[in-house]
Amino acid sequence: SQQGEEDPQALSIQEGENATMNCSYKTSINNLQWYRQNSGRGLVHLILIRSNEREKHSGRLRVTLDTSKKSSSLLITASRAADTASYFCATDAISSGYALNFGKGTSLLVTP
Amino acid sequence: NAGVTQTPKFRVLKTGQSMTLLCAQDMNHEYMYWYRQDPGMGLRLIHYSVGEGTTAKGEVPDGYNVSRLKKQNFLLGLESAAPSQTSVYFCASSSQKGDTGELFFGEGSRLTVL
């Protein structure tokens, strides 16, 4: 079963605004990752945050992790039209111990 | 710099037909995965492999078989296709165990079963 659930399912903002997406998961994790998927393309890795980290930055991306609440957030600052995509959080798949479980994703639309 | 290559990119099958999806990676990765993506369902793990000659079941393995005879290739087979297998299939690979390393994805294979 899917471990992570993103919220909101869809988000529409204008260029220059910040976009925040949230991910909640059910069981303890070692790491949490965020991926991006442009329409009709494969997923691309954005960032990995370890369970002992609370915040991580990469360019315009800021990821936070709250293990006590079993939640993570992805903030994209100063959004651009090119940021339009679906964003997925992924956690380790407890059942396999090797693969990742992905949430259903947040669809982000950034309008000029 | 190919990365992960999936073939074919598109395929239409009739119910009961069989087919094989091929995934090839040129990064010498140990771990390979097959996911399916359906609207509103996100990505679900079908099968995975932790090295040449190994395969294991994921979340939704029924109706699929896999083989990893060569380290660089991971094949996904449908022996008797059903309309419920209409989906977009993604292959991915990683150099480390999935939760500790980055997954590299192919561009997907869109399968329609009539």
The whole-number average pLDDT for the span A45-50 is 95
pLDDT of residue A71: 95
Using an 8 Å CB-CB cutoff, list chain B residues near A98: 31, 48, 50, 56, 97-99
Question: DSSP states of B30-76 as a string?
Answer: SEEEEEEEETTTEEEEEEEESSTT--EE-SS-TT-EEE-SSTTEEEE
With contact defined as beta carbons under 8 Å apart, do B15 and B114 qualify?
Answer: yes
Q: Residue A2 pLDDT > 60, yes or no?
A: no
**In chain B, which residue's Cα lies nearest the Cα of A87?**
B42
| pLDDT over 80 (residue A105) | yes
Buried/exposed B86-105: b ≥16 CB within 10 Å, e otherwise: bbbbbbbbbeebbbebbbbb
Low-confidence winner among A15-24, A55-64, A81-90, A99-108 (lowest mean pLDDT) = A99-108
Task: Decide: A92 and A101 in contact? Cβ < 8 Å.
Answer: yes
Q: Is the pLDDT of residue A43 over 80?
A: yes
* Cβ atoms of A30 and A65 closer than 8 Å: no
Query: Which stretches of chain A sit within 8 Å of chain B by CB?
Result: 1-2, 29-31, 33, 35, 40-45, 48, 88, 90-93, 95-105
Given A30, A42, A45, which is nearest B100 (Cβ)? A30
pLDDT band, very low/low/confident/very high, at A97 (cuts 50, 70, 90): low
pLDDT score recorded for residue B40: 78
Q: Is B2 on the interface with A (CB under 8 A)?
A: no
> Do the beta carbons of residue A18 and residue A77 sit within 8 Å?
yes
Closest A-chain CA to B96: A98
Residues in chain A with CB shorter than 8 Å from the CB of B99 are 29-31, 33, 91-93, 98, 100
Please list the residues that pair with B42 across neighbouring strands: B38
Contact A61, A45 (CB under 8 A): no
Calculate the average pLDDT of chain A. Answer: 91
Residue A30, pLDDT score = 83
Sign of CA dihedral A111, A91, A43, B2: positive
Backbone angles phi, psi at A4, to 5 degrees: -100, 150
Best of A98, A102, A104 to substitute, by most chain B Cβ atoms within 10 angstroms, is A98
Percent of chain A with pLDDT over 90: 75
Average pLDDT over residues A89-107: 80
B61 touches chain A (CB under 8 A): no
Predicted confidence at residue B85, as pLDDT, reads 97
Model confidence at A96: pLDDT above 70: no
Give the pLDDT score at B2.
Answer: 77
Residues of chain B with pLDDT under 50: none
Q: Do B56 and A98 touch (CB under 8 A)?
A: yes
